[in-house]
Amino acid sequence: MTWNKIKLFLPVVLGALGGFLYYQFIGCNGSCAITGSPVNSTFYGSLMGLILTDWKQIKLLFISPSRENPDETKKEN
């Protein structure tokens, strides 16, 4: 895995970990919609991490070099 991909998924993983730790140490006893369940709290934390990612870099992951500039691929061959 390259460093660029790790930088994109790291906020999601850290958000999930933070959400679970929030449930474990601070969360309420079942009456709260988000912090009452470890699944909900972990999912919410990962969603917050996803919001904090760099969206321009995510877009670049899914664009192939041939789509970006077709003339460059012809020069390489």
Q: What is the number of alpha carbons within 13 Å of residue 38 lying toward its C-beta?
A: 5
Q: What local confidence, expressed as pLDDT, does residue 46 receive? A: 92
Residue scoring higher pLDDT (43 or 5): 43
Q: Which of 52, 41, 40, 39 is nearest to 12 (CA)?
A: 52
List pLDDT tens digits, range 16-63: 999 999 989 988 876 888 888 889 999 999 999 988 887 777 676 677
Domain boundaries, the chain: 3-76
Q: What local confidence, expressed as pLDDT, does residue 30 receive? A: 67
What is the spatial distance between Cα 67 and Cα 76, in angstroms, rounded to a whole number? 14
Cut 0.85: pTM above it? no
| Amino acid, res. 22 | Y
